Amino acid sequence: MFNKNSRYLNIKTVTSRDRMGREVQAVKLRRLNATAGADFMVTDGDQLDVIARQQFTDAEKFWHIADANCELQASQLVKTTARIIKVPES
């Protein structure tokens, strides 16, 4: 269901039905611990993958930033200019 480097790879799935009666699978939400890191001010045009490449030398670690900020939709983190987000220690 997920790539081998996915943050969701080893998380249990649940099966449910949507409004149309179709069976769907979803991952259970993970409990996240508080994460140490540095504040980062979002500027216009920032992208999490670019920030991750700068901070961790790996663009695919963008989800570490999302997790540190407890944001379900990672793209929301960089939507608002001047928002302060937490970038975890590498």
Per-residue model confidence as pLDDT tens digits over 2-60? 788 777 788 888 999 999 999 998 888 777 777 888 999 999 999 999 999 999 999 99
- How far is Cα 36 from Cα 45, in angstroms, rounded to an integer? 25
Give the model's pLDDT for residue 79: 95
Q: Exposed, middle or buried: residue 48 (CB in 10 Å: 0-12, 13-18, 19+)?
A: buried
Which tokens in the block code for residue 66?
């999302």
Instruction: Report the chain's C-alpha Rg in angstroms.
Output: 15
Q: For the whole model, what pTM was predicted? A: 0.70
CATH for the stretch 13-88 = 3.10.350
Give the model's pLDDT for residue 5: 75
Give the model's pLDDT for residue 63: 87
Q: What SS3 state is found at 13?
A: strand
In the block, tokens 């993970």 appear at 30
Give the model's pLDDT for residue 28: 80
